[in-house]
Structure 1
């Protein structure tokens, strides 16, 4: 993912849980994630900025999002953002036309 800096805060390999924090500047303005699918629950909290899902739904500072296992998506940010992210299970890259 170009334009994004991550810091792993916690990893529980036996439970498959990973907690991360985007580091300042987080996702830089104009950054975009690669399309991917989570095989476990993903939750994130937007600390600062904006985040837009592939379906053009926008999240703002203060929003909490919970995505079910099996959700496929990619994100972009216009102004940049800082996030706290927790996910369980593997993450798999996919082609954008699968979304």
Structure 2
């Protein structure tokens, strides 16, 4: 299976374009954003768990990174409410479940072998830092081998300078509307911009976005 598997192309998936498909687990549905492989795959996905649902125990052969969008996600290590960012490196395992239901944004099989730090961050209680332009604030989540992950908050009317994405850029809009010269992207929109792409982003009404950069260089991608 190959979904948005040409990483040299810009991709935008808006909430109205989402297509939910059933997973092997009862009560668990997936919106596949990009994917190379079948059930075990290099994948970026939004996963929706119905109340009381669970996934079978499994091992993360290529690592797992996820952000809880709604509800409470649970496993043997604890309960993770909306706003929690979690990294489970290669070789870790768990049995995910939820009591009341949840939705998560998850990336699988995209870890560097040397990236072995397992942790979680409750971003609702963490402190943002001032960004590089007025109105911008940043909460760094992870940085390794040229890859950087952060939440970025844009106050209404914030504008950023035109810049080029070395290693590409991936964005999930969590709140508000993110914008650039190519269009407007409301909450729930996922964007992937390729290596060396450029844009001039802004937000008229303000927004909060998940941002990942540096992970889309040609040598970092599957053949």
In the alignment, structure 2 segments of 5+ residues that lack a partner are 1-24, 111-223
Q: Secondary structure at the match of 2:99?
A: coil
Partner of 2:20: none
Per the normalisation by structure 1, the TM-score is: 0.77
Q: Which runs of 4+ in 1 moved over 4 A?
A: none
Partner of 1:39: 61
Per the normalisation by structure 2, the TM-score is: 0.36
- The total of aligned residue pairs comes to 83
In the alignment, structure 1 segments of 5+ residues that lack a partner are 90-99
Q: Does 1:4 align with 2:25?
A: no
Determine which structure has the larger strand proportion and give its number.
Answer: 1
Larger relative contact order (C-alpha < 8 A, sep ≥ 6)?
A: 1
Partner of 1:63: 84
Two-structure CA RMSD over aligned residues (Å): 1.5
Is the radius of gyration larger for structure 1 or structure 2?
2
